[in-house]
Amino acid sequence: MAALIFAHFKQVPFWQLTDLVASSLILGQAIGRWGNFFNSEAFGRTTSLPWKLHIPLDHRPPG
């Protein structure tokens, strides 16, 4: 909704604005995921695969 209002007041076509912003959102998401990786915040179930990631005990949820 904010993007629609912004596009209206700046007189920029909405779809052109979304094309411009899309690449920034993808880059921001990728940087955020790398941050989760280095902080050991985002992880899945336990695995025995050879490329598994060791999460320290103090970063694991209880149980």
pLDDT tens-digit readout, 4-21: 999 999 999 999 999 989
- The total number of structural domains in the chain stands at 1
Asked, for residue 16, whether it belongs to a domain, the answer is: yes
Tokens 């700046």 belong to 10
Asked, for residue 14, whether it belongs to a domain, the answer is: yes
Token output for 36: 């989760």
Q: What is the pLDDT of residue 43?
A: 78
| Per-residue 3-state assignment (H helix, E strand, C coil) for the chain | CHHHHHHHHHCCCHHHHHHHHHHHHHHHHHHHHHHHHHCCCCCCCCCCCCCCCCCCHHHCCCC
Which of 36, 45, 39 has its CA nearest to residue 63? 45
Q: What is the pLDDT of residue 2?
A: 94
Rg over alpha carbons for the chain, rounded to the nearest Å, is 19
Tens digits of residue pLDDT in 14-47: 999 999 899 899 999 999 999 988 888 877 888 8
Q: What is the pLDDT of residue 47?
A: 87
Domain that holds residue 2: 1-37
